[in-house]
Amino acid sequence: MRALVVVTGGTFDKEYDELRGTLSFRKTHLPEMLALGRCRLETRVLELMMKDSLNMTSADRKRILAACRRSPESRVVITHGTDTMTETAAALGRAGLPGKTVVLTGAMRPYRFGSSDGLFNLGSALSFAQALPPGVYVAMNGLVFSWDDVKKDRRLGVFKRQKTHG
Amino acid sequence: MRALVVVTGGTFDKEYDELRGTLSFRKTHLPEMLALGRCRLETRVLELMMKDSLNMTSADRKRILAACRRSPESRVVITHGTDTMTETAAALGRAGLPGKTVVLTGAMRPYRFGSSDGLFNLGSALSFAQALPPGVYVAMNGLVFSWDDVKKDRRLGVFKRQKTHG
Amino acid sequence: MRALVVVTGGTFDKEYDELRGTLSFRKTHLPEMLALGRCRLETRVLELMMKDSLNMTSADRKRILAACRRSPESRVVITHGTDTMTETAAALGRAGLPGKTVVLTGAMRPYRFGSSDGLFNLGSALSFAQALPPGVYVAMNGLVFSWDDVKKDRRLGVFKRQKTHG
Amino acid sequence: MRALVVVTGGTFDKEYDELRGTLSFRKTHLPEMLALGRCRLETRVLELMMKDSLNMTSADRKRILAACRRSPESRVVITHGTDTMTETAAALGRAGLPGKTVVLTGAMRPYRFGSSDGLFNLGSALSFAQALPPGVYVAMNGLVFSWDDVKKDRRLGVFKRQKTHG
């Protein structure tokens, strides 16, 4: 089994720019994280964009959809900013990706800052991507949600089912 | 959905004893790791033993089996030393745990030592435990193996399918 | 020998605010860092302010001077943002702190983000504070500079002697 | 000013051997640590040996003395296991190294294991090496001791003055 990892940025890959004292993006850390996890699942990492998801446009979401559509892999993980992850998941879910298991994940704390949830979420998402039937999902906080039943609780910084309190 | 995490020790939880300059076990770090992953899956952590798996006996394995048998949870993750993880998996698989999805995982590098695969494996195992049908599995290196089709490649320090080169 | 550590903020103590996705200040990490260094030098930590040094005013600098003046300790370390550290050092140097060895230090990368120079600089500054004669100094990059012979090279993000290329 | 860093091993540089599950030595991490500290003091790193100091012999100590003797640098830091650091300091102190400031330091927790005192001690030792007059010293726990007035308190894992309780 092979998986495609589509990198779009988000807190997952945020960096601290020492000279400016601000947050920024550079190259993705996904290959380094897969190595840290000693991941032996064959993966292809595609760095599509490096964006804070608050700045994502529908053009960006179309590009993500296209990357998923044309991938030979039927298992896809998308790393994404948590702020609009559910919107991208909905865009993909409504468009439809038949035969493909697509799992979006992100991080609340940048991988490079230590004490990050990034590695945990990456392991989680890659596993759900292998085990679940075709569909579009969000994997955060050790749980998995269908694209049409998830929202981000911005006060607590966690993901929950939309249809119930859960 | 609730999961039981049975802690048996292994490299996952190894510590560095500063006064002696040696490796040792103290309390499990599982709760801390679940907090780091911002895990919102309801979990019960049961610290059954803290052993290097090279020192595990069949009595130990019987205790692990008993803990799985009596658990109300149908989803179980067992953290375990990697050296004899496949033996424990086989003992559980042969005994049978009907209706339960049991996933064994471990780490090649202690969680407390930085650059560990522990968090990645924990996220992976908790996800496979939720998504897979009843059975006994080993989750390592981002992959999942059935208990009767896995071995540890000691030279490379990775897990592979037993029946093929994989 | 006792030392006073005056905390004024800066990159040393910056935090990542997960809910907003921005950088922020909370409580100082100095006590935690001193514990990590197993520091047995008696120290008193005084959290005077938590400011990005670009936002420091002369009123702030007067408060820092006053804290140094009234301290019973003759050895003082001041943690400070690197952007205007040399200005604060000059303000203290010109005012004069007879009988006191005052060493300013900071970090280019927040302590909490991993891979930080913070611990190294803290060990360095505490040591220079104990070993040097009275005066006002800046300790960065493993070196020590007199307050009237130091500048920050903003392009490289390092500190150099002002009077020569160094 | 230039400094020589003589590496002899000790907990400072200990590694975790994943395949054997034991502690071991590989190459020194000193260059990496100096880079992390953004150290701009010119340093020459000499990896003389990589030993647990419990295994040091008088032949080893003679080699360390010889390396200090022949170095063009008058400022020397020696990284060393903490168990017999005071013995090596005494051997150097008794032999005498006129015109040279030699500072021994180590770590209670390996640098590579996270939460280490290594970086703090390295910054401390490099600073004392620059600021102190010629002599042989031990720098641990943020303090500096003359070679003839220091002992390791093995119960607490800290260094203290030998002549008083201090």
Report which of D84, D82, D100 is spatially closest to residue D136, judged by C-alpha positions. Answer: D100
Question: Which candidate in A11, A82, A86, A88 is catalytic?
Answer: A11
Give CA–CA dist A58/C115, Å, rounded: 37
b/e B132-158 (16+ beta carbons within 10 angstroms → b): beebbbbbbbbbbbbbeebebeeeebb
For chains B and D, what is the number of CB pairs under 8 angstroms?
44
Touching check for B130 and chain A: CB below 8 Å?
yes
* Positions in chain B whose pLDDT score sits under 70: 164-166
Report the number of secondary-structure helices (H) and strands (E) in chain D.
Answer: 4, 10
Q: How far apart are the first and last CA of chain D?
A: 33
Please count the residue pairs, one from chain A and one from chain B, whose beta carbons lie less than 8 angstroms apart: 116
Set of chain A residues whose Cβ sits within 8 Å of the Cβ of C141: none
Q: What is the pLDDT of residue D166?
A: 46
The reply to whether A11 touches chain C by the CB within 8 Å rule is: yes
A104: β partners: A78, A138
| Burial track D96-122 (b if 16+ CB lie within 10 A, e otherwise) | ebeebbbbbbbbbbbbbbbebbbbbbb
Query: What is the structure's pLDDT at D164?
Result: 60
C-alpha to C-alpha distances, D122 to B51, B68, B89, B162, C133, nearest whole angstrom: 35, 48, 46, 48, 22
Q: Which of D121, D128, D143 sits opposite C41 (nearest CB)?
A: D143
Rg of chain A (C-alpha set):
15
Q: Which uninterrupted H or E stretch holds C36?
A: helix C30-36
DSSP string covering chain A, please?
A: -EEEEEEEESGGGEEEETTTTEEEE-S--HHHHHHHTT--SEEEEEEEEEE-GGG--HHHHHHHHHHHHH-S-SEEEEE--STTHHHHHHHHHHH--TT-EEEEE--SS-GGGSS-SHHHHHHHHHHHHHHSPSEEEEEETTEEEETTS-EEETTTTEEE-SSS--
Phi-psi region of B129 (alpha: psi -120 to 50; beta: other; left: phi over 0): alpha
According to DSSP, the β-strands at C22-25 and C14-17 are antiparallel
Distance CA A136, CA A129 (A): 10
Q: Do C109 and A16 touch (CB under 8 A)?
A: yes
pLDDT at D114: 85
Distance CA D156, CA D6 (A): 27
Q: Which residue has the tokens 């032999």?
A: D95
Among C51, C82, C113, which would you mutate to test the A interface (most chain A Cβ atoms within 10 Å of its Cβ)?
Answer: C113
Given the DSSP bridges, would you call strands A143-146 and A135-140 parallel, antiparallel or unpaired?
A: antiparallel
Asked if residue C146 lies in contact with residue C161, where contact means CB atoms within 8 angstroms, the answer is no
- Answer whether C109 sits within 8 Å of A18, measured CB to CB: yes
Using the Cα atoms of residue A125, residue A126, residue A127 and residue A131 in order, give the sign of their dihedral: positive
Pairwise CB contact (< 8 Å): A128 & B127:
yes
Tell me the three state secondary structure of residue D30: helix
Q: Do B119 and A115 touch (CB under 8 A)?
A: no
Chain-centroid distance, C-alpha D90: 13
Q: How many CB pairs lie under 8 A apart between chains C and D? A: 115
Provide the β-strand partners of residue B47: B7
Could you give the count of Cα atoms lying within 13 Å of A148 in the half-sphere of its Cβ? 5
> ipTM value of the model?
0.96
Q: Which residue shows structure tokens 């000693």? A: A38
d(CA C30, CA C118): 10
pLDDT (0 to 100) of residue C47: 97
CB D162 within 8 A of CB D87: no
Task: List, as one string, the DSSP characters of chain B.
Answer: -EEEEEEEESGGGEEEETTTTEEEE-S--HHHHHHHTT--SEEEEEEEEEE-GGG--HHHHHHHHHHHHH-S-SEEEEE--STTHHHHHHHHHHH--TT-EEEEE--SS-GGGSS-SHHHHHHHHHHHHHHSPSEEEEEETTEEEETTS-EEETTTTEEE-SSS--
pLDDT value of residue D163: 77
Q: How far apart are the first and last CA of chain B?
A: 33
Q: Cβ contacts (< 8 Å) between C34 and chain D: which residues? A: 142
Q: Kindly tell me if the per-residue pLDDT of D4 is higher than 80.
A: yes
For residue range A79-133, what is the model confidence (pLDDT) as tens digits?
999 999 999 999 999 999 999 999 999 999 999 998 899 999 999 999 999 999 9
The answer to whether A66 touches A102, Cβ cutoff 8 Å, is no
Contact: A114, C109; criterion CB under 8 Å: no
**DSSP letter string, C109-122:** S-GGGSS-SHHHHH
State residue A42 phi and psi, 5-degree precision: -65, 125
Catalytic residue status for C105: no
- Contact call for C34 and D142, based on CB within 8 A: yes
Sequence-distant (6+) residues with CB within 8 A of D18 are B11, B108, B109, B157
Under a CB-based contact definition with an 8 Å cutoff, are residues B108 and B80 in contact?
A: no
Q: Write b or e for each residue in C74-108: b if 16 or more Cβ atoms lie within 10 A of its Cβ, otherwise e.
A: bbbbbbbbbbbbbebbbbbbeeebeebbbbbbbbb
pLDDT recorded at residue C114: 85
Please identify which of the residues C11, C82, C86, C101 carries the catalytic annotation.
Answer: C11
pTM of the model: 0.94
For testing the chain C interface, which of D11, D33, D38 should be mutated: the one with the most C CBs within 10 Å? D38
C142 and D33 within 8 Å at the Cβ level: the answer is no
Q: Is D148 on the interface with B (CB under 8 A)?
A: no
| Residue-level pLDDT at B94 | 98
Please state, in angstroms and as integers, the Cα–Cα distance from residue B161 to each residue in B124, B139, C71, following that order. Answer: 18, 12, 67
CB C41 within 8 A of CB C3: yes
Tokens 């208990």 correspond to B147
Tens of pLDDT, residue by residue over D89-116, are 999 999 999 999 999 999 999 999 988 9
Joined tokens for residue D152: 């390791």
Residues 35-94 of B with CB under 8 A from A: 36-41
Report chain C residues whose CB lies below 8 A from the CB of D40.
Answer: 141-143, 158-159
CA distance, residue D79 to nearest chain B CA (Å): 16
Helix (H) or strand (E) holding D155: none
Q: Do B131 and A131 touch (CB under 8 A)?
A: yes
For residues A54 and D67, give the distance between their C-alpha atoms in angstroms, rounded to a whole number.
58
Distance from CA of A62 to the nearest CA of B (A): 29
Would you say B66 and B26 are in contact if contact means Cβ atoms under 8 Å apart? Answer: no
Q: Is C62 helix (H, G, I), strand (E, B) or coil?
A: helix
User: CA B149, A34, B86: angle at the middle one, nearest 5?
Assistant: 25
Question: Digits of tens for pLDDT over chain C (166 positions)?
Answer: 899 999 999 998 999 999 999 999 999 999 999 999 999 999 999 999 999 999 999 999 999 999 999 999 999 999 999 999 999 999 999 999 999 999 999 999 999 998 899 999 999 999 999 999 999 999 999 999 999 999 999 999 999 998 755 4
Helix, coil or strand: residue D35: helix
When CB atoms are compared, the residue of A39, A117, A157 closest to B142 is: A39
Contact at CB, D113 and B108, closer than 8 angstroms: no
> Of D40, D130, D142, which is closest to C141 when you measure between CB atoms?
D40
Q: Tens digits of per-residue pLDDT, D32-88?
A: 999 999 999 999 999 999 999 999 999 999 999 999 999 999 999 999 999 999 999
Q: Are D111 and D33 in contact (CB under 8 A)?
A: yes
Higher pLDDT among residues B164 and D20, named by residue = D20
